[in-house]
Chains A and B, each alone.
Chain A
């Protein structure tokens, strides 16, 4: 999925450990805003989804949107949080895109606390809290230099003002940049599963800030952290963390210490730049918002939310591995669940398909937008043909693609195309010839250790494939090679 983003994303020097906590803002995909009846919709004409409440007009009052609160609670439960009575608080600071010049959020009594998120590799990251708050409007600086300091003027679109957000705050349990990305991917999968958000980083419906620090490996201290903002993709997230960690190691190693501050990720130049220093940070003067009554979910409400939770990605991966066996890697299981193909694989396996082969084939060869025509039955038939050696792996891949397109039975497609695996005798003849033509390789194969053999088996199989134009079954070639060595 995501290879290292850049050369900078390398391991820290020996003796150092990375400590990362993430703050993820997620827009809930409710029909209406958090405190009024305006449409919660991305991309509309500016300032068309507004009313006295979300514009903060004098005299207007917020009323909490029950479905937003429920959605936030569902997310909390999906993250294993305790859902509690909560109060809305005002976070006071002046900013032109914030209509009331305070943001309604949750402070010392958030809706969700103390959860955990299990990564596909089995590690868990603690969730400190997941609280509900309103989004701000969106400012566009135009004219002049077009940036915040040198623009001629600013235009504010309040369509986003009052859109419901949940801020998920992880504990500083993340140890690598890749783990940070895995956390965000997994969180996204959970958000999609519970239907809380469409979680699109590029549209801003999921925004990630990273708190980064380093410490000597093995210590459990928490050193000065920097909060990196403006991370609009997984790639940026990984690169920014890696850059920032190296910067911190450099500072500490040189006898300096990082300043606690907010930093911005500069994607173009691949570095973080200082933003506001926490020392002159605003005092937000939080206090309970007297316009809103506390949220008091009863045990019955929480039980109903639990009952309505769909199967979550971690559980689905576990079930898939349970059905398909340990040969199925955690990574492949994650991919299948992310693509919602786990149910297909499990149903095909239940219908008799070979588990590991089926999972691998779907994972590698059914990465298409629309696979709705591939029924468990058809998939099971195809996998039976392949595992029985009736078609080669290459042919099976082609059949998979056509099946996804047309929904036709694999046997019928194979028949029409004249697909069939080569008989073992024919294959043996061709293999003999390949061995004769590549005597040197064969000798090294026979004499080599396991690694060497693996390499040369690949080469020899490739030669057979070339000679047969892909009609040979790779695993059959491997088997024949093994037999010949054994006979030698």
Chain B
């Protein structure tokens, strides 16, 4: 059952929320030992919340659009009184005294939290192998990674442990694992969803979003969690267009641009299109590009017009990102100093305690990024590194804005390849970083993007295609995603 089907059944009394929760808990107990999606399962709390919802249904009280829907929360979202670790030794055992805004909103919508999911430590990684508590495995092939950093959330949805999950996306951390696990993942417009209560990695890029098994579920979750929050001054004020209601309207007349820089091997790029001179990102596998071409064909068949669009600065995204994100991270993670909460390694004085704590508490990738970021912001280097990255960001915003004057949405791959094996990319951080090359541009521009499963690669593993649009174009993106979802169904014509 999808999340929306569960909610409808619970609201009508056809199914009890408790039975839904028990069913999911049973699956977790049966299989999560193998998958490792959860850092913490909240069985008692979930069952008690479910009972409350069932009682409310019995009394005829309104129970919300996601009533009884089991959700999994990435373990970098603050949950009041419930451990929130960011998969780091640094925060092991820390219990926040408050709920993230998204957690409050999901609860108000009737959703039931079943657990906190694994991630790359502080959301830094693309495989969920950087967790202090061990890796999460891909439910499609447990020798493979689920992607990251929201790998636990993607795996939880793919394995049927939860109907919905929340992830956070700083450079692709929702979309890339969604692609690798064969689920839908939405990175909303920066500011569409409050970041209050999301443990910060890179504040100007971080955005919370849903992972779901269907586009409609992702849309319903997005509706529940988005909207202005006075606790986040970067959250966007003003009303939003409804998303779920318009999902079935199709893509007739929609102008779709295939983003040439992400599709070097596309049959659509080059030759007749006159875009021969495009410098594209490296490493996107031909079987992935083939799925992008198939998606373009499916959209065209549904009435969209297809063109090829070039955004030259898109190839600079990765370099700019790996200066901006670590720079912000180096500042955001300074607070883990052993003074107030989390790990403390005692030493002779405050400064030494600070060093000992951070040395013991952070993993290698987190340390690497803190050092990178500290360097990028240092006196004498700021202009050459951080300053230049900001200029690239400005350039990308300008070029994407120009592209969106000509097309409504851009199409490309989400991840360069299907899920890779555990350990395959851990030796070389740069190889791992290349996983985000297709997803990073939307974080730098603050624009929304969705990854939707669209068939499989040569290895039979899921491939996700990515739809990107201008700010607050989520209704349009999800409408197009719904068309692809439909086309990818058995008999849908695209597989």
Which A residues fall within an 8 A CB radius of B?
Answer: 52, 55-64, 90, 92, 94, 96, 99-102, 154, 156, 283, 285-287, 289-293
Note all chain B residues with C-beta closer than 8 A to A56.
335, 340
- CB contact under 8 A between A290 and B377, given known A58-B91, A59-B200, A100-B334: no
User: Is there an interface contact between B378 and A283, defined as CB atoms closer than 8 Å?
Assistant: yes
B341 in contact (CB, < 8 A): yes
Pairs across A and B, CB under 8 Å, 12 listed: A58-B78, A60-B98, A60-B197, A61-B195, A61-B196, A61-B231, A92-B377, A94-B351, A96-B350, A283-B378, A291-B234, A293-B234
Which B residues, 316 to 339, have Cβ-Cβ distances below 8 Å to chain A? 327-328, 330-331, 334-335, 337, 339
Bound CA span A59–B331, Å: 13
Residue among B78, B203, B230, B335 making CB contact with A290, cutoff 8 Å? B203
User: Is there an interface contact between A283 and B379, defined as CB atoms closer than 8 Å?
Assistant: yes
Specify the main secondary structure of chain A where it touches its partner. loop
Residue among B339, B377, B382 making CB contact with A156, cutoff 8 Å? B339
Binary flags per residue of B193-204, CB closer than 8 Å to A gives 1, else 0: 001111110111
User: Is there an interface contact between A291 and B78, defined as CB atoms closer than 8 Å?
Assistant: no
Bound CA span A59–B232, Å: 11
What is the CB-to-nearest-CB distance from A33 to chain B, in angstroms, rounded to a whole number?
A: 14
Note all chain B residues with C-beta closer than 8 A to A60.
98, 196-197
Bound CA span A64–B339, Å: 25
What is the CB-to-nearest-CB distance from A166 to chain B, in angstroms, rounded to a whole number?
A: 20
B362 in contact (CB, < 8 A): no
Q: For residue B90, which residue of chain A has the nearest CB?
A: A58
What is the CB-to-nearest-CB distance from A386 to chain B, in angstroms, rounded to a whole number?
A: 61
User: Is there an interface contact between B334 and A58, defined as CB atoms closer than 8 Å?
Assistant: no
B410 in contact (CB, < 8 A): no
Note all chain A residues with C-beta closer than 8 A to B374.
285
User: Is there an interface contact between A101 and B337, defined as CB atoms closer than 8 Å?
Assistant: yes
**Which of A52, A90, A101, A285 has the most chain B CB within a 10 Å cutoff?**
A285
B490 in contact (CB, < 8 A): no
Residue among B94, B198, B233, B331 making CB contact with A293, cutoff 8 Å? B233
Note all chain B residues with C-beta closer than 8 A to A59.
76-78, 84, 96, 98, 100, 196-200
What is the CB-to-nearest-CB distance from B348 to chain A, in angstroms, rounded to a whole number?
A: 11
3 smallest A-B Cβ distances: which pairs? A101-B334, A290-B204, A285-B377
User: Is there an interface contact between B378 and A58, defined as CB atoms closer than 8 Å?
Assistant: no
B354 in contact (CB, < 8 A): yes
Residue among A58, A63, A92, A102 making CB contact with B233, cutoff 8 Å? A63
User: Is there an interface contact between A64 and B335, defined as CB atoms closer than 8 Å?
Assistant: no
B271 in contact (CB, < 8 A): no
Note all chain A residues with C-beta closer than 8 A to B200.
58-59, 291
Note all chain B residues with C-beta closer than 8 A to A102.
331, 334
Using C-beta atoms within 8 Å of the partner chain, give the interface range for chain B. 35 or more
What is the CB-to-nearest-CB distance from A391 to chain B, in angstroms, rounded to a whole number?
A: 65
Bound CA span A64–B233, Å: 8
B386 in contact (CB, < 8 A): yes
Note all chain B residues with C-beta closer than 8 A to A292.
233-234
- CB contact under 8 A between A63 and B97, given known A58-B78, A96-B350, A154-B350: no
B86 in contact (CB, < 8 A): yes
Note all chain A residues with C-beta closer than 8 A to B337.
94, 96, 101
Bound CA span A88–B94, Å: 29
Residue among A61, A156, A283, A287 making CB contact with B331, cutoff 8 Å? A287
Note all chain A residues with C-beta closer than 8 A to B96.
52, 57-59
Specify the main secondary structure of chain B where it touches its partner. loop
User: Is there an interface contact between B377 and A287, defined as CB atoms closer than 8 Å?
Assistant: yes
User: Is there an interface contact between A287 and B327, defined as CB atoms closer than 8 Å?
Assistant: yes
Note all chain A residues with C-beta closer than 8 A to B350.
96, 154
User: Is there an interface contact between A62 and B377, defined as CB atoms closer than 8 Å?
Assistant: no
Q: For residue B375, which residue of chain A has the nearest CB?
A: A285
Bound CA span A61–B379, Å: 26
Bound CA span A64–B84, Å: 27
Note all chain A residues with C-beta closer than 8 A to B331.
90, 92, 102, 285, 287
Q: For residue B232, which residue of chain A has the nearest CB?
A: A61
Note all chain A residues with C-beta closer than 8 A to B78.
57-59
Bound CA span A328–B96, Å: 63
Q: For residue B387, which residue of chain A has the nearest CB?
A: A287
Note all chain A residues with C-beta closer than 8 A to B204.
290
Bound CA span A178–B91, Å: 53
Bound CA span A254–B208, Å: 65
Bound CA span A367–B200, Å: 56
Q: For residue A156, which residue of chain B has the nearest CB?
A: B339
User: Is there an interface contact between B233 and A61, defined as CB atoms closer than 8 Å?
Assistant: yes
Note all chain B residues with C-beta closer than 8 A to A99.
335, 340
Note all chain B residues with C-beta closer than 8 A to A90.
331
Bound CA span A156–B337, Å: 14
Bound CA span A92–B379, Å: 12
User: Is there an interface contact between B334 and A92, defined as CB atoms closer than 8 Å?
Assistant: yes
Bound CA span A154–B340, Å: 12
What is the CB-to-nearest-CB distance from A248 to chain B, in angstroms, rounded to a whole number?
A: 27
Which B residues, 357 to 415, have Cβ-Cβ distances below 8 Å to chain A? 374, 377-379, 382, 386
Bound CA span A55–B96, Å: 12
Note all chain A residues with C-beta closer than 8 A to B97.
52, 57
Note all chain A residues with C-beta closer than 8 A to B100.
59
Note all chain A residues with C-beta closer than 8 A to B379.
283, 285
Bound CA span A181–B36, Å: 67
- CB contact under 8 A between A291 and B340, given known A59-B78, A63-B232, A285-B331: no
What is the CB-to-nearest-CB distance from B344 to chain A, in angstroms, rounded to a whole number?
A: 11
Bound CA span A350–B198, Å: 65
Bound CA span A355–B204, Å: 63
Which B residues, 99 to 124, have Cβ-Cβ distances below 8 Å to chain A? 100
Bound CA span A96–B337, Å: 8
What is the CB-to-nearest-CB distance from A221 to chain B, in angstroms, rounded to a whole number?
A: 25
